[in-house]
Structure 1
Amino acid sequence: MIKIFTPSFADENNINAQNLTVKQIVRRLDPDYFQVTMFYKNNIVDFIKNRGNTKFIKWSKHGNLIRFFLHHIFNKYDIYFYPRYTLLENLFLIINRFRKNTKIITHLVHSVSEESKNDILLCKILNSSTVIVGNSPYVSKTLYENFNIKSKHIYNGIDKDHFFSAKKNLIKTYDVLYVGSLQERKRPELVIEAADKLRNYKFGIVGDGPLKNVLSTKIKNKKILNVELLGTLSQKDLGNIMRRSKIFFFPSINEGHPQSVGQAIACGLPVIAMEKIKVDYVINNENGFLVEDDDDIITMISLLINNKTLRTKMSKKSIAHSSNFNWDYSVSQWIDTFMEVVN
């Protein structure tokens, strides 16, 4: 029996990318061979609750750090999976320094750079990890180039329970859809700027974050009536919105392998993303465009909206390409990794 602890949350309504990933992995681990312990706040998603051999630690408003400390003092695990960059990891690294019996498996989900060497906790985790797995070849490449650490990669799958193509033609609510946190590196302001220039098209923005009020004020001051801030949506509602959109626009320039882009192609959306992030969900000129220059964004959006034949062709290519990102296959790779580390 392999005992795994992950500082991830099992809640149904927790749509943080790490937690979505870990839930999909845990649901596919055979409970006869893998015991998993993870956090929860309120309502545990059914497929984790019913899995068997899964233990849960309640996350409360207060006292989480001391509960975490005591739990790891009195419980030993084979694997600490998917560390985050928080006080919990700092504490765990101190505990494990003395016991040295728990293997740390880090899933690196963002590219790193020379500046990343200034992130003390990131460096501690990377140096303490038994195995590091990138979520794309590009992420693993940046790790080697900047830290001289070799790592394999395992793609995330796509949740086909919620993200799939429409069986019939649906009336489109949005011409252009963006999904992601509203923070600086994601550049959601470019969606607002595009909506301002393309007033005949309807834009939807899904997500929340520190730039929400800034974006809302900009929309109000410039009277941009063709864009909606939709806030955070459940996975079910997000899938429905994607199937009712024409194209997906993702202007971020600092990513790993963003799940929202994979979800979009599974729903049949052509994608416009930045070439810089090397997202393998998009094959340039096949199921979307990888744009090198911001000045080309408006041209590409207009081209896809106005050319239905091209949009339909790319939509079919997106659906076909999405089949290459399968959770069952991804988890089989994770299982191999767990077994190799423990044995």
Structure 2
Amino acid sequence: MDRNKIRILFLPPVDKANTNAQSLNTREVALRLDPERFEVTLFYEEEPDPRLRNCRNIRLLALPHRVKTIRILKEQLSDYDIVSYMDYSPASYIFVHLPRLMRKGTTTVLHAEAPRAQLVNPSILLRVLYDGVFSRCDAHVGITDFVARDLAHNGDREARFILPVGVDCRFFSPPAKREHAVPTVLFVGTLVERKGPQFVVLAAKHFPGANFRLVGAGRNNFERVLQKQISDLNLPNVTLEGPRSQYELLEIMRESEVLLLPSRLEGLPKVSLEAAATGLPCIVFRDYETPSVVDGVTGFQVSTFEEMLHRLEQLIQGSGLRTRMGSAARHHAKKFDWDIVSKQWNSAFIEIAGSSR
């Protein structure tokens, strides 16, 4: 490793099959950090994203199936300038509680990606890990202005930077034509109550002439709750499709007309940018003020379930409205292209590292 360069360790594993947003973000940022300024270390568990191989400033480390905590902690103690995407793992908890002398000059960076209220009914262990890591990180960044304000108000921490996530607009692109006889409403996200997939199912009851596709992995068996809801309401127009790769998701988005995200606790939903880049108007709740959806232009930000149904009806019935909003969404998404957004990350990391050297 070149000690004249900024050494940065990202904690999310970068396996090619990993569809977690932090993993996807880490890969896109790492690929775009200035190789003349940064040396990057990334973990993987099975098979890393092939794009990361043979990059001269990226080092890939395999995590063992056992004693992962020890391996991660050992790497955190390897004199990095920055450890980014601090998580709420035992390794991170131990690291931030070690004496500063042992941690040397390493700056730990916590990325706040949603309001603190997103931590719903945590276990005792998770609460201890969360509180212990959050309060002891050296630098906090917010994904949006709203999350930064929440960080200051509810977390008593000032966000040093606003670092939004991005989208690869070359990969996520619209189809040549959208001419489907039956409109499709799409939900993408983890199937948990907090994300609101149950409201997508309820919406399907109001619009039997549209198809509703829910894409994402279940958690804590919530997919069974949804399957029972679908069965009880006798909804043949709803499908639960499980997790999908980025390539599969691209095709699903091209086959859809509207993205519906009924969660009230988010930051900047990555999927809303991906959908926008493929030309999909999106409906979200305005509670978290996401900059990815411009109300009335690229989609709608709503306040109630009833308003959500009203806006969804407008988009299902109005092909012209969908086309106009979809085109505007694509144009808006280009402002969040990773080639643009990554420059903000690049500058922030340089400043963070400079303050600790």
For the criterion TM > 0.5, the same-fold answer is yes
Contact kept in structure 2, 1:96 and 1:102, CA below 8 Å: no
- Tell me, which stretches of 5 or more residues in structure 1 are unaligned? none
Shift of 1:221: 3.1
| Change in CA separation of 1:16 and 1:290 when aligned onto 2, cut-off 3 Å | same
Distance 2:344 2:75 in 1: 29
Aligned match for 2:196, one of 169, 187, 191: 187
Q: Which residue of 1 aligns with 2:317?
A: 306
Q: Is the 8 A contact 1:109 1:139 kept in 2?
A: yes
- Cα deviations by residue, 1:87-129 (Å, 9 ceiling, x for unpaired): 121122134634242111221111125989x944334333333
Classify 1:12/1:174 alpha carbon distance in 2 versus 1 (closer, same or farther; 3 Å).
Answer: farther
Q: Secondary structure at the match of 2:39?
A: strand
Instruction: For 1:196-215, list aligned pairs within 5 A.
Output: 196-210=205-219, 211-215=222-226
Contact kept in structure 2, 1:177 and 1:245, CA below 8 Å: yes
Comparing 251-260 and 124-133, the one that deviates more: 124-133
Q: Partners in 2 of 1:92 and 1:270 — Cα distance?
A: 43
Please give the secondary structure, in 2, of the residue aligned with 1:57. Answer: strand
Matched, 1:130 2:133: no
**Structure 1 residue 39 and structure 2 residue 43: aligned?**
yes
Whether the 8 Å contact between 2:9 and 2:76 is mirrored in structure 1 is no
Q: Report the TM-score when normalising by structure 1.
A: 0.93
* Paired position in structure 2 for 1:107: 111
Same amino acid, percent of matched pairs: 29
Tell me the secondary structure at the aligned position of residue 248 of structure 2: helix
DSSP-derived class of the 1:56 partner: strand
Asked if 2 retains the 8 angstrom alpha-carbon contact of 1:114 and 1:146, the reply is no
Q: Give the aligned residue type for 1:219.
A: I
Alignment of structure 1 residues 174-253 onto 2, 5 Å: 175-210=184-219, 211-253=222-264
1:78 aligns with 2:81: yes
Write the deviation string for residues 194-253 of structure 1: whole angstroms up to 9, x where unpaired.
112221111000001221111112222332100111111111110111111111100001
Instruction: Determine helix, strand or coil for the equivalent of 1:106.
Output: strand
Q: C-alpha deviations, 1:256-308, integer Å up to 9, x for none?
A: 11101111111111111111121111111111111101122222211111111
Aligned match of 1:92: 95
3-state SS in 2 of match to 1:15: coil
TM-score (norm 2): 0.90
Stretch moving more, 253-262 or 173-182:
173-182
Partner of 1:272: 283
> 1: distance between equivalents of 2:233 and 2:27?
41
Q: Does 1:335 align with 2:346?
A: yes
What RMSD in Å do the two structures reach over aligned CA positions?
2.1
Aligned ranges 1:58-69 → 2 under 5 Å: 58-69=62-73
Instruction: Report the secondary structure of 2:339's partner residue.
Output: helix
Q: Partners in 2 of 1:170 and 1:110 — Cα distance?
A: 36
C-alpha displacement of 1:132: 1.4
- The answer for unaligned runs of 5 or more in structure 2 is none
Aligned residue pairs total 342
Q: Is the 8 A contact 2:34 2:346 kept in 1?
A: no
Distance in 2 between residues matched to 1:130 and 1:67, nearest whole Å:
22
Q: Distance in 2 between matches of 1:318 and 1:114?
A: 27
Instruction: Say if 1:224 and 1:128 are closer, same or farther in 2 by CA, change over 3 A.
Output: same
